[in-house]
């Protein structure tokens, strides 16, 4: 009888250990995936902030810069995302990234507390915002009209690729345009997704 008890105890202990390991793996899988998605979202937010800084630097000082696109997410320039008139100024850079995190389905503003289309002295010229849409997170970067300086940045897409290896940012010069109530200085930025 003793020789039969030992294998049965061994098999029962082995089953208990396997059940505990499987339970831990199933429970931990969601936590691991949430950590991965949180890291991916954080990298995307940091990338768009760095891209904004480069665009503003080139808009002010001229020149060009080629940067690596490190994300596994679609990026493109989209029209009619803010409601700013004239329509040439109503463009934004948009990143779409698959993500399972629970985020708000309305816009959350990352770099400003004043999301108005027209900014004042204390407001950043750029607006970075994000929201959850289905199984994706959408992050947008756009430039508003600074009423105190009568200034804005206009984005122009030169070439297109949803998942580029590089982004080329070039100054497209500066011009004065009549917008709504006065003349505005517009720095043009050319973006090539290559």
Give the model's pLDDT for residue 133. Answer: 93
Burial of 121 (0-12, 13-18, 19+ CB in 10 A): exposed
Give the model's pLDDT for residue 39. Answer: 93
Domain enclosing residue 110, as ranges = 2-193
The four Cα atoms 178, 180, 181, 183 give a dihedral, to 10 degrees, of -20
* pLDDT, tens digit (0-9, with 9 covering 90-100), for 93-115: 999 999 988 888 998 888 877 67
CA distance 71 to 180: 38
CA distance 133 to 141: 17
* pLDDT, tens digit (0-9, with 9 covering 90-100), for 39-49: 999 999 999 99
Domain count, the chain: 1
Order of strands, edge to edge, in the sheet holding 108-109? 74-79, 91-98, 136-143, 126-133, 108-109
């Amino acid at each position: 009888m003793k020789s039969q008890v030992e294998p049965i105890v061994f098999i029962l202990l082995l089953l208990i250990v396997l059940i505990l390991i499987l339970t831990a793996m199933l429970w931990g899988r969601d936590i691991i995936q949430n950590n991965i998605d949180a890291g991916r979202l954080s990298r995307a937010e940091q990338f768009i902030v760095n891209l904004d800084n480069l665009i503003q630097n080139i808009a002010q000082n001229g020149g060009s810069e080629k940067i690596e696109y490190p994300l596994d997410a679609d990026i493109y320039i989209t029209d009619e995302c803010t409601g700013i008139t004239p329509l040439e100024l109503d463009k934004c850079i948009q990143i779409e990234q698959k993500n399972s995190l629970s985020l708000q389905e309305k816009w959350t503003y990352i770099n400003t507390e004043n999301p108005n289309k027209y900014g004042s002295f204390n407001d950043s010229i750029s607006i970075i915002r994000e929201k959850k849409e289905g199984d994706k997170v959408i992050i947008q970067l756009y430039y508003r009209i600074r009423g105190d300086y009568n200034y804005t940045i206009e984005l122009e897409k030169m070439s297109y690729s949803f998942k580029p290896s590089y982004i080329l940012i070039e100054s497209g010069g500066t011009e004065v345009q009549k917008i709504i109530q006065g003349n505005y200085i517009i720095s043009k930025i050319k973006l090539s997704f290559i």
